[in-house]
């Protein structure tokens, strides 16, 4: 096998082994109307699967992770549930089932869209709070490669170029012989 084929096979193998990156969406919310128990606020990032599905007639992505804070306590991750925990790509970013998560303050929280109130709503079960909230969400921009990654990329192109050049020289020598 020629050096060029070895390099191309190695590149193909590493490319095939790289998993697809998950989508991420930032979110934040703050009380617009406290229903009971005081105001709430939170912000963070939803990590979702890359596989869209239909939930309640809308395109959705399953939420696989959550980071951030709720009322000053760190969010520890989504609560496993038999319903909900979908990021909706429609007019609202969560549906009526909502997204459920816990915090380090042992608070069980649900962020959902209340269609009757035409507003997002947060229920903090263990704190006895419920509020209509102003909520926003946006895709997190893709990360820019670090300088070390760029250096490895340039070095890799240099190695491939060098291998192609030496392979071409070897073929040229054989043709002259």
What is the Cβ-side half-sphere exposure of residue 1, based on CA atoms within 13 angstroms?
A: 8
**Whether 168 and 108 share a structural domain:** no
Q: pLDDT tens-digit profile of 152-166?
A: 778 787 777 777 777
**What is the predicted pLDDT for the residue at 15?**
45
**Whether 45 and 75 share a structural domain:** yes
Instruction: Tell me the C-alpha distance between 172 and 121, whole Å.
Output: 73
Token pair listed for 124: 């903090």
**What is the predicted pLDDT for the residue at 5?**
55
**What is the predicted pLDDT for the residue at 16?**
42
Q: How far is CA 118 from the centre of its chain?
A: 27
pTM of the full predicted structure?
0.69
**Whether 124 and 164 share a structural domain:** no
**Whether 58 and 127 share a structural domain:** yes
Provide the residue range defining the domain that includes 14: 3-18+145-176
- Structurally, the chain folds into a number of domains equal to 2
Grouping H, G, I as helix, E, B as strand and the rest as coil, residue 95 is: coil
**Whether 85 and 172 share a structural domain:** no
Say yes or no to pLDDT of 147 above 90. Answer: no
């Amino acid at each position: 096998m020629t050096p060029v084929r070895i390099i191309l096979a190695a590149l193909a193998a590493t490319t095939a082994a790289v998993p697809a990156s998950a989508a991420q969406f930032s979110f934040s919310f703050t009380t617009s109307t406290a229903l009971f128990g005081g105001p709430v606020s939170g912000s963070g990032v939803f990590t979702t699967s890359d596989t869209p599905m239909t939930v309640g007639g809308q395109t959705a992505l399953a939420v696989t992770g959550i980071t951030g804070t709720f009322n000053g306590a760190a969010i520890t991750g989504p609560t496993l549930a038999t319903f909900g925990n979908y990021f909706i790509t429609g007019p609202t970013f969560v549906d009526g089932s909502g997204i459920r998560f816990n915090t380090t303050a042992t608070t069980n929280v649900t962020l959902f869209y209340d269609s009757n109130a035409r507003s997002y709503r947060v229920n903090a079960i263990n704190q006895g709070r419920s509020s209509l909230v102003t909520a926003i969400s946006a895709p997190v921009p893709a990360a820019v490669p670090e300088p070390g990654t760029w250096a490895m990329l340039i070095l890799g192109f240099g190695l491939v170029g060098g291998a192609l050049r030496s392979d071409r020289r070897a073929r040229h020598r054989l043709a002259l012989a």
